Amino acid sequence: MRLDGGLPTFWRASLRCFPYESFAASPSIPSLVMQLTVSLLPNNSLPPSLVPAQTTAVVVDVLRATSVMATALNHRAARIVTFEAIEEAVAWADEQAQSGERPLLCGERHCQPIAGFDLGNSPSEYPPQRVAGKTLVVTTTNGTRALAAAAGFQHILTASFLNLSAALARVAGAPAVHLICAGTDGHITAEDTLLAGAFASRCVEEHAAQIGNDEARLAVDHWSARCCADLPISSPLIADALLDSQGGRNLARLGMADDVRRCAQVDTHPSVPTVVARQPITLQ
């Protein structure tokens, strides 16, 4: 029997890329199979079957926080310490300066650099000569909030297109993986959904993961519709999709289209920012 009979073209394309059997729950699937779920916003309710203490959380803020974090650690930054509030970031940096070298203050609010900070939120601002060996104190509009929302999970890492394959390799063998999309000001974003779909699709293919909730299916469908037909994964195709998103259009309007194209590059960085401490949240 044809699975795609009578379905719209969009759904038939999705099924050709990722067969329905990959997503269907089956009593024959062993309990050790990876369960892959997605929250398209940090405050979305978790799937009832999800146990945070046994789950690896993957935080996604493609434009631009998790792309910047991958870039900074790839360029040998010592660590990244994150805060939700600007005041908290400044206070912690001041405290550290009393006993040693002052960390670099980094981040943005509503796409714009923060007054008095050393660096903004553009990957191009984080070359090795600027960040190697440095502690970076980061606060952003959405990405650092998403990291805070993930604090209850056993393992936490961040992903972007820049380190997609490296992040996928890092979750190999995990019993459950939950992607948390940062969104923008409480709204779902196409760019984070695109990365979540790419990640989920690759988990199905490479780790025999079982898709566990509708938000994950929606992400896979979005990825399938925008990028599945182009194999291998094409950075220009991803750049087009990101520039077509609201976040991409916002950055382009501010003269930051090059940031979007940089964040669309695939597998340029092997580093996977991973939470190593939680008070404050610290990644290495």
Q: pLDDT by residue (tens digit) across 6-36?
A: 333 333 344 334 333 333 333 344 457 999 9
- The pTM for the full model equals 0.88
Q: Is residue 97 part of a domain?
A: yes
Which CATH number is 175's domain given? Answer: 3.90.1560.10
Q: Is residue 81 part of a domain?
A: yes
Q: Is residue 245 part of a domain?
A: yes
What is the average per-residue pLDDT within 105-125? Answer: 98
Q: Is residue 55 part of a domain?
A: yes
The number of distinct structural domains making up the chain is 1
Q: What does the pLDDT read at residue 274? A: 99
Provide, rounded to the nearest whole percent, the portion of the chain with pLDDT above 70. Answer: 87
- Taking only the tens place, the pLDDT of each residue in 58-82 is 999 999 999 999 999 999 999 999 9
Can you give the residue range of the structural domain that contains 175? 35-283
Q: Which of 13-22, 149-158, 176-185 has the lowest mean pLDDT?
A: 13-22
Q: What does the pLDDT read at residue 39? A: 98
Q: Is residue 18 part of a domain?
A: no
Q: Is residue 77 part of a domain?
A: yes
HEC secondary structure over the chain: CCCCCCCCHHHHHHHHHCCHHHCCCCCCCCCCCCEEEEECCCCCCCCCCCCHHHCEEEEECCCCHHHHHHHHHHCCCCEEEECCCHHHHHHHHHHHHCCCCCCEEEEEECCEECCCCCECCCHHHCCHHHHCCCEEEEECCCHHHHHHHCCCCCEEEEECCCCHHHHHHHCCCCCEEEEEECCECCECCHHHHHHHHHHHHHHHHHHCCEECCHHHHHHHHHHHHHHCCCCCCCHHHHHHHHHCCHHHHHHHHCCCHHHHHHHCCCCCCCCCCEEEEECCEEEC
Q: Is residue 159 part of a domain?
A: yes
Q: Is residue 12 part of a domain?
A: no
| Structure-token pair, residue 229 | 């037909």
Sheet holding 135-139, edge to edge: 112-113, 104-109, 135-139, 79-82, 281-283, 275-278
Task: Collect all residues with Cβ–Cβ distance below 8 Å to 92 and sequence separation of at least 6.
Answer: 81, 83, 103, 137, 280
